């Protein structure tokens, strides 16, 4: 895309999108241009529709490409009419996999490296996205108040999350062993950079295999499990929303659909139906 690539990147920076979002939008726009082998200035509504139709069997990819193309035409090319009215694809709302506490604790024990275990325990113990856990700075840890201060999270929002006493001890042990020199709590191999999410995902995958967990296990599954476990312990949904950094409460209420405790506590209306045993126990009317 040449100069247009640079212009779109500048527009994304002006809007304030996260670097990962910028990278994803630019990648999707590049895929769109590569499909037709023509500059986007020569493409319009029909080409956008044709390209999106090639992604109908991949709804998530279709949605991310549409977001990027809409930004390209609306903000960078200033031709919003080319993407106006193109509907957002509907994606299947699947319930997330949830690990039990026993499974979570078994994963911790199976992780080999101290730093990897500390990152994974942080991701679960505070309900963080893996990128948030990896990029924590030492100044973000408020041990006196029992809080972690997340800066510039998804959507550019700051928030506070809980710092458990167990996690604090884990982080102190990590610091004693690794003695990080820079601002980041979990330093990567490159000086001045934090650890990347990839080795954490790989360590978690190896640990899941070792303990024999057949469920899909990823850092985000730990985040889902954290939220569900909080809900089952009686934490109110608004507090969970705040800790997870969800903009909409609807993103948080889905955990009520996967909480075994909440589902098991519901009484089915069918239980009100008279049965032979209940009829036998019922007191007889006196004439």
Cβ atoms of residues 255 and 228 within 8 Å: yes
All structural domains of the chain = 3-82 (1.10.150.130), 101-264 (1.10.443.10)
Tokens of 115: 């730093």
Tokens of 52: 């999106």
Q: pTM for the full model?
A: 0.69
177-195 exposure pattern, b = at least 16 Cβ within 10 A, e = fewer: eeeeeeebbbbeeeeeebb
Query: Strand, coil or helix: what is 150?
Result: strand
Q: What is the pLDDT along the chain (287 residues), one digit of tens a residue?
A: 778 999 999 999 999 888 888 999 999 999 999 999 999 999 999 999 999 999 998 888 999 999 999 999 999 999 999 999 898 887 666 777 889 999 999 999 999 999 999 999 999 999 999 999 999 999 999 999 988 898 876 766 788 888 889 999 999 999 999 998 889 999 998 888 999 999 999 999 999 999 999 988 999 999 999 888 888 888 888 888 888 888 777 777 767 665 655 555 556 555 666 766 655 555 555 54
Query: Strand, coil or helix: what is 66?
Result: helix
Residue 131, number of CB atoms within 10 A of its CB: 17
Cβ atoms of residues 33 and 20 within 8 Å: no
With tokens 């490296």, the residue in question is 113
Of 35, 48, 200, the residue nearest 112 (C-alpha): 200
Catalytic residue positions? 129, 154, 220, 223, 246, 255
CB-based contacts of 167, cutoff 8 Å, min separation 6: 121, 122, 125, 126
Tokens of 193: 């950079």
Of 29, 35, 42, the residue nearest 1 (C-alpha): 29
């Amino acid at each position: 895309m040449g100069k247009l690539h640079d212009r779109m990147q500048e527009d994304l920076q002006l809007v304030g999108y996260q670097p990962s979002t910028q990278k994803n939008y630019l990648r999707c726009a590049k895929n769109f241009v590569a499909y037709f082998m023509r500059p986007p200035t020569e493409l319009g509504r029909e080409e956008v529709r044709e390209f999106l139709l090639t992604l109908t069997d991949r709804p998530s990819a279709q949605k991310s490409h549409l977001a990027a193309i809409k930004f390209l035409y609306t903000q960078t090319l200033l031709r919003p009419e080319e993407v106006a009215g193109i509907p957002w694809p509907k994606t299947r709302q699947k319930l997330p996999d949830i690990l039990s506490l026993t499974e979570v604790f078994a994963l911790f024990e199976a992780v080999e490296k101290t730093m990897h275990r500390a990152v994974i325990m942080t991701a679960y113990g505070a309900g963080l996205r893996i990128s948030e856990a990896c990029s924590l700075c030492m100044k973000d840890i408020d041990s006196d108040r029992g809080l972690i201060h997340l800066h510039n999270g998804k959507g550019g929002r700051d928030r506070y999350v809980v710092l458990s006493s167990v996690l604090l001890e884990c982080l102190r042990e990590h610091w004693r062993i690794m003695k990080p020199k820079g601002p980041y709590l979990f330093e990567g191999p490159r000086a001045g950079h934090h650890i990347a999410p990839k080795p954490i995902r790989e360590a978690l995958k190896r640990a899941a295999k070792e303990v024999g967990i057949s469920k899909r296990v990823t850092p985000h599954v730990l985040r889902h499990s954290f939220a569900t476990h909080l809900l089952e312990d009686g934490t109110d949904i608004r507090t969970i929303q705040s800790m997870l950094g969800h903009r909409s409460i609807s993103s948080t209420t889905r955990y009520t659909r996967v909480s075994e405790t909440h589902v098991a506590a519901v009484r089915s209306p069918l239980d009100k139906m008279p049965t032979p045993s209940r009829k036998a126990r019922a007191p007889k009317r006196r004439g």
